[in-house]
Amino acid sequence: MYKFYLLPLCLAFLTGCTSMNSFNFYSMHDDVTLGSQVFSETRTSMQQQGVTRNANPAQVRKIQTMVNRIAAVSDNPELPYEVDIYSTSVVNAMAAPGGKIIVFEGLWDPQKGLCKGDDEIAAVLAHEIAHVNCRHSTESMTRNTLVSGALAVGTAIAKSRDNDTAAYAMGGAFVAYKGLLVTHYSRRDEYEADRVGMMYMAKAGYDPRAAINIWERAAAGGGNSGSPLDMLSTHPNDADRMQALQEQLPAAMAEYKRRAK
């Protein structure tokens, strides 16, 4: 099993849309620039750890073609979408801003993988492309900057007035924000990426029922569902994601059938 010690910058951006119209300090050009930097840093880090990148050219072409097909029906098809595939047993895929997608081969491993067939792989890719289009990474950075700045100013003012109670209260507010509100936003982002991604895959001609199959299988396997600590998780639990996707399915199926005509 490989251990991944990516730079903090990478970890900040590889997150998984509060809204495509949400306030954001960063431009779309910034997203592309930052994403390219993350992509490059990830390549360097993986190479240093001996992890092979894009070892199977046919596989890379296949996944890149799927990404291009989904990106073409996204809200920002003009972004420079690019895929890197790493030869590890990690069951995951991640998106950096601006269209860079990182996929680990464990995603479709026959024994331990999450995806069975192209439609399910497309569901994961569409979810990541939704993160890119909804600009979750830079929106999260914007929120963190605004709240952290406001609380820092409040704490400084309280300390300047020798108001220890107020200063401690501001410090406590920051802890609560980092521990609860930030994870709330992250879960909300995941739900939106699920919803937007399901519509993207349907528009691209992939069966949206595959997205539900993934989380149904994950929930049945134990996953992270039902834990009393779900409220502190940055991702919704598997069963909740499956239920939310089921509610979205009629609209997605209508789009899928319309495109199939």
Determine the pLDDT at residue 219.
79
pTM for this entry: 0.75
Determine the pLDDT at residue 252.
97
Determine the pLDDT at residue 245.
94
Report CA-CA distances (Å) from 172 to 3, 4, 151, 161, 169: 33, 32, 10, 18, 5
Per-residue pLDDT of the chain (261 residues; tens, 9 = 90+): 333 334 333 433 444 344 455 677 778 888 899 889 889 999 999 999 999 999 999 999 999 999 999 999 999 999 999 999 999 998 889 988 899 999 999 999 988 888 999 999 999 999 999 999 998 888 877 776 644 444 344 444 444 555 555 444 444 444 443 444 433 447 888 899 999 999 999 999 999 999 999 988 887 875 544 444 333 344 667 888 899 999 999 999 999 999 887
Strand order in the sheet with 82-86: 82-86, 100-104, 93-96
Which residues, 6+ apart, have CB-to-CB distance to 45 below 8 Å? 4, 5, 6, 7, 10
Determine the pLDDT at residue 146.
46
Point out the residues that are catalytic: 128
